[in-house]
Amino acid sequence: MKLRMNWANRVTVLRMVFIPVFVVMLLANMPDWGPVWAAGIFTLLAITDGVDGYLARTRNEVTTFGKFLDPLADKLLVAAALVALVELGTLPSWIALVIISREFIVSGLRMVSIAEGMVITASNYGKTKTVFQVLAIIAFIIKDSDPIKRILGPQGTTLFASASWLLMGIAIALTVVSMVDYFYHARDVITGPWEKTGGE
């Protein structure tokens, strides 16, 4: 049977295909404009998250495959960027661990919720969390690059680095808050009627 994909899913698959390209470019640690180019690719890949969602809604192409693949592609992109930044020594490993662990935990809880017949939609906390994660990652990719140092100068570079850490701090806080919010909305699943399955 031939698998036919709509345009929304094609954009999602394309995003996943280019994640290794972004990682290779970032880890190559190219001098001068290398980090800026890597940040540009990451930005384009992050933007496609909105593109495939828009295509799916406006063209009435929302599919089960797309519902599975789209969030997976988003998590892979963020996780790949965080791991690469840790490898470069730019980001402390505990930050990547917190953010990636949250995604595993929430994804697991989401699967349990679906199995129980509950659909928990993404909250504003989750959406805002994603925005700040993307902004923080972009800032961390370029904050030590030569173009930033030349353009902003010593004082400006220091301020930009501080702003980068502020963005990352907000992203971490929202990561935790959005996880707590998700657990709250899934409380009926977590504290479900276990007595019904007892002894079976």
* 199 domain-assigned: no
Q: Is residue 75 part of a domain?
A: yes
DSSP 19-85: HHHHHHHHHTT-STTHHHHHHHHHHHHHHHHHHHHHHHHHTT---HHHHHHHHHHHHHHHHHHHHHH
Classify each residue of 156-187 as buried b or exposed e, where b means 16 or more C-beta atoms within 10 Å of its C-beta. Answer: ebeebbeebeebbebbbebbeebbebbeeebe
- Counted domains in the chain: 1
The reply to whether 196 falls in a domain is no
Which tens digit of pLDDT belongs to each residue from 166-192? Answer: 999 999 999 999 999 888 877 777 776
Tell me whether residue 197 is in a domain: no
- Residue 67: give its domain's CATH number: 1.20.120.1760
Compare 200 and 76 and report the one with higher pLDDT. 76
Give the Cα separation of 183 and 164 in Å (integer). Answer: 29
| pTM of the model as a whole | 0.87
In a domain, 51, yes or no: yes
Q: What is the pLDDT of residue 192?
A: 62
**pLDDT 10s digits, 25-46:** 999 978 889 999 999 999 999 9
Tell me: pLDDT of 13 over 60: yes
Q: Supply the range of the domain harboring residue 18.
A: 7-191
pLDDT band at 199 (very low <50, low <70, confident <90, very high): very low
The 10s digit of each residue's pLDDT in 52-75 is: 777 777 878 777 777 778 888 889
pLDDT in tens, 95-131: 999 999 998 888 888 777 767 666 666 678 888 999 9
Residue 102 lies in a domain: yes
